[in-house]
Structure 1
Amino acid sequence: MATATSTPESTTEVAAATGRRRRTDARRRDTVVVVALRLAVIALCLVLWQVMSGPVVPEYAVSKPTDVSHALWKLLGSSSGWTDIRVTSIEIAAGFAIGVVLGTVMGLLLGSFPLAGRVLEPLVAAVNGIPKIALAPLFLLFFGIGPWSKINIAVTGVSFVVFYNVYLGLRLRERELVEIVQVMGGRRHHVLGYVTIPTLAAPFFAALKTGGPLAILGVIGGEFIASSEGVGHELFTSAMNLDAATEFAGLIVLVVMTLILNGLLTRLDTYALKRLGLSPRRAARPR
């Protein structure tokens, strides 16, 4: 009768597979624990909010979670609420996109021409020092209370962040790598593909993640000052009417919009770095 014998190679493969399953199960358990703790913290905060509203903190100032949920349901169930969300989303998307393009072009131009960078960088820094919300009245005079005034406020916040990341990334580009590529017969597009883009990838996507909240801040600030629709307009109206429940409902909408934008940028960051071969690699585990 033939008997099955296990070779050292098969035993090693089985042990490695078992180890991988254990590590996967451990990561899943850790993820479940973290999510459960987050939900527990949120639930505790809501319970404390509900209990303390009235006896400890004035209810007119903070409302209650139950009232906020009703206001949020009313906001999402009305056509005017979705109109405000749509208007604000368009303004944020347009301001963010234009700001990224403008900041990237400015950074590439001033970073590629050192003389222009030395001449114009102090002027850019001086303009960047002006609080963006202080420019809102000026944009309102130029573009009115329509969406373009809010878009331009968002552009000013995003473009400077992207500009500085791209500009400094170009300045920190290793000259030796450029010279090596050129010595090997590489041309401008080779330097761009092998040196410039990998060098700028990380700071560029870091600028995108920083610029997203700035775009939201600029749009909401502009809608606070003067607007006829938008989430910021709804927040301002609720504050003037001392309607705390609707105020918190609008804030929840802003939080969700921020999370969506950040999630999209994170996915774009991960995908782009992976395509460029710049994603972090896990250290090899000893066998």
Structure 2
Amino acid sequence: MTRPDPGTAAPAATRARARLQGTGSIIVLRVLVILVALVLWQVMSGPVVPEYAVSKPTDVYDALTDMLGSATGWTDIKVTTIEVLAGFGLGVAAGTVMGLVLGSFPLLGRVLEPLVAAVNGIPKIALAPLFLLFFGIGSWSKITIAMTGVAFVVFYNVYLGLRLRERELVEVVQVMGGRRHHVLGYVTLPTLAAPFFAALKTGGPLAILGVIGGEFIASSEGVGHELFTAAQNLDAAAEFAGLIVLVALTLALNGVLTALDAYALKRLGLAARRRPRPRS
């Protein structure tokens, strides 16, 4: 059995410790920045900035505690989360299908791409009243708004990814006797992986934006409904508490997508391309 060279193992261990120390320092600095911002917020609220407009961190904490300690607050969070996940999932599915179909058939893509661009140019929130007429003030109107925003982002990334696929690689696989599933596995999927997951990370906040916008316009429950009610009541503390919930939802969704991205790239054998090269 071959023993590892001590001269090689020592520098590797040193680099690992340096990376851990660097990561720890970054985390500490981030926490310090947040603490300084909270202290300044607490001190400046009132003497410098009107307290009714920005509240105070202590009041926001109390409002957040009340929200998370009530059944109504958790119902609002549950409704918004379900609407975001449903709209995001349906938007990804619709955008992927559209991108694959129009990208696989060039003539169809040239005919329909300008029409898709024209519809995409309409602000999604402007379509909210139309969706409300179709689906009412229930969850489906918010899901449809979220789905529309996500679908176009995914469509363009998949569509352009297919158009930028290297024709030479496809021909090489076909010359070597490869069939459609070989082209799909060795050329298409590796080409689409990066733009597809980039679209997912972009579409997550768009789904949240669509749902909250729809809840602003007309809803009876949800985090957006509570934000709108807090704004009408000039309750800045409740407003910031709702924003904290949305930030947590965004971070959770982005974390799941990041983990899925890393797993998919590892399965496709593309993870090594993202690793930073060691410096000499």
Q: How does 1:141-180 map to 2 (within 5 A)?
A: 141-180=133-172
Matched, 1:140 2:140: no
Q: Which amino acid is the alignment partner of residue 93 of structure 1? A: L
Q: What RMSD in Å do the two structures reach over aligned CA positions?
A: 1.3
Q: Which amino acid is the alignment partner of residue 59 of structure 1? A: E
Provide the residue aligned with 1:13 in structure 2: 5
Q: Which amino acid is the alignment partner of residue 225 of structure 1? A: I
Give 3-state SS (helix, strand or coil) of 1:229's partner: coil
Provide the residue aligned with 2:67 in structure 1: 75
Give 3-state SS (helix, strand or coil) of 1:209's partner: helix
Provide the residue aligned with 1:196 in structure 2: 188
Please give the alpha-carbon distance, in whole angstroms, between the structure 2 residues aligned to 1:64 and 1:177: 59
Q: How does 1:46-125 map to 2 (within 5 A)?
A: 46-125=38-117
Matched, 1:269 2:261: yes
- After TM superposition, give the deviation of residue 36 of structure 1 in Å: 0.7
Listed as ranges, the gaps of 5+ residues in structure 2 are none
Report how many aligned residue pairs link the two structures. Answer: 277
Output the TM-score relative to the length of structure 2: 0.97
- After TM superposition, give the deviation of residue 18 of structure 1 in Å: 1.5
Q: Which amino acid is the alignment partner of residue 264 of structure 2? A: A
- After TM superposition, give the deviation of residue 17 of structure 1 in Å: 1.6
Provide the residue aligned with 1:238 in structure 2: 230
- After TM superposition, give the deviation of residue 283 of structure 1 in Å: 3.5
Please give the alpha-carbon distance, in whole angstroms, between the structure 2 residues aligned to 1:87 and 1:283: 44
Deviations along 1:18-73, one digit per CA (max 9) or x if unpaired, are: 11221111111111111111011000000000000000000000000000000000
Q: Which amino acid is the alignment partner of residue 222 of structure 2? A: G
Runs of 4+ in 1 over 6 A off after TM superposition: none
Output the TM-score relative to the length of structure 1: 0.94
Q: Which amino acid is the alignment partner of residue 132 of structure 1? A: K
Comparing 20-29 with 50-59, which one deviates more in the overlay?
20-29
Q: Which amino acid is the alignment partner of residue 196 of structure 2? A: F
Provide the residue aligned with 2:20 in structure 1: 28
Please give the alpha-carbon distance, in whole angstroms, between the structure 1 residues aligned to 2:228 and 2:279: 55
Q: Residue 245 and residue 285 in structure 1: after superposition, are their counterparts in 2 closer, same or farther (change >3 A)? A: closer
Please give the alpha-carbon distance, in whole angstroms, between the structure 2 residues aligned to 1:155 and 1:32: 38
Q: Which amino acid is the alignment partner of residue 22 of structure 1? A: T
Q: State the identity as a percent.
A: 77
Deviations along 1:206-257, one digit per CA (max 9) or x if unpaired, are: 0000000000000000000000000000000000000000000000000000
